[in-house]
Amino acid sequence: MNIKNLLDKKGHQCHTISPENTMADAVNKMMQHHIGSLIVVEEEKPVSIITERDVMFTIHHRGCDINSTKIQEIMGSKLVSCNISHTIKEAMALMFENETGRRVRHLPVLDDGKLVGLVSNGDLLLRMIEETEFENRVMKNYIQNWPEEDVS
């Protein structure tokens, strides 16, 4: 299964925010939609991602005011993303090994540079489990219906 198939099942909805918005705006939007990340978009192009962990880390380590601190002040400089043609395994590998050197839990999905969705490590894990369970059922069926040898 590839990421396009996953998004077709899951849905293509993803939430974005501008680098000019404040951390408070990000928190409000994440709480409103019950989500853990927002893709930072500038001129309709994804440039970064901000997560609830980023917000908590910034508050804890910098003690900043979320009402005045802009997203651009805390967002990462590199966006780790995948393409709709990536497989589930390739996307999962990107979450663990990428150019930032950090593990990520959310991957924006791009198609020709255009944002078309977002997948989380939970989405990928669920699909991997579903694939494994399907393969397991197929193998059990194959073994149970193994033809008897004709010894005549």
The residue-averaged pLDDT of 112-134 equals: 90
Whole-angstrom Cα distance, residue 13 to residue 7? 9
Considering the domain 3-144 in this protein, what is its CATH number? Answer: 3.10.580.10
The conformation of residue 146, written as its DSSP 8-state character, comes to P
Reported as a pLDDT band with limits 50, 70 and 90, residue 83 is: very high
Q: What pairing do the DSSP bridges indicate for beta strands 37-42 and 16-17?
A: parallel
Which percentage of the chain shows pLDDT scores above 90?
Answer: 62
Domain range list for the chain: 3-144
Whole-angstrom Cα distance, residue 138 to residue 144? 10
The residue-averaged pLDDT of 101-119 equals: 92
Is pTM beyond 0.85? Reply is: no
pLDDT at 32 (0 to 100) = 97
